[in-house]
Amino acid sequence: MKNFSPKPWTLPQPVLILGTYDKEGTPNAMNAAWGGTWDTNEVMISLGSHATTENLDLQGAFTLAFATVDTLVASDYVGIVSAKKEPNKIAKTGWNVVKSEHVNAPIFTNFPLTLECKVKETLNRDQSGYMLIGEIVNIVCQENFLSTDGLPDIEKMGIICYNPIHHEYIQLGKKVGQAFHDGEQLK
């Protein structure tokens, strides 16, 4: 086996699109791969210092969408350009924006699935950023991405993951098993 020095290589990583409003109510979005589940109704994201973190401090709310093949180019764009330098950042993505009905944050309707969140707390805050803990208050899924049982069908969505080893986006594949079930055969 080959050894590597410590790196954030948890695989796969989500490609999260964090939506916020600035002080004028202008929508912004950034890409975040260092995030995931914190607790039953909570998410965590490790954040540097961004226009987004200023918005989070101001509004106490955000949305979290899951990037897809169809939104890939603009999802990467919002991860390499800051609203601090590009005031027309969201216009350049071409994304359609509506205000969340549950939190003071924008929903980009180009994404199939979006979590609407309130800032619960921030941890390890210093000049370089903080760990954001968010409470999920609602989830919206576009109707055409629901399966026959009425739940979101992630196989339909073309969701992408981030590969931190080669800095690539990889499309989520097909179902290969049933959780909490397939292991039963070894009991």
With CA atoms as reference, report the closest residue to 153 among 138, 136, 172. Answer: 172
Asked if 52 touches ligand FMN (CB under 6 A), the answer is yes
Among 60, 72, 82, 99, which residue sits at the site for ligand FMN (rule: CB under 6 A)? Answer: 82
Asked if 33 touches ligand FMN (CB under 6 A), the answer is yes
Nearest approach in angstroms of CB 43 to ligand FMN is 12
Contact at 8 Å (CB) between 54 and 47?
Answer: no
CA distances from 29 to 7, 82, 102 (A): 26, 9, 18
> What is the pattern of x (binds ligand FMN, CB under 6 A) and - over residues 148-177?
--------------x---------------
With CA atoms as reference, report the closest residue to 168 among 10, 12, 7, 17. Answer: 12
Q: CB-wise, 60 or 129, nearer to ligand FMN?
A: 129
CB atoms within 10 A of CB 173: 8
Among 17, 30, 43, 160, which residue sits at the site for ligand FMN (rule: CB under 6 A)? Answer: 30
Nearest approach in angstroms of CB 29 to ligand FMN is 7
Would you call 163 helix, strand, or coil by DSSP?
strand
The binding site for ligand FMN (CB under 6 A) comprises: 28, 30-35, 46-48, 50-52, 76, 79-84, 129, 162
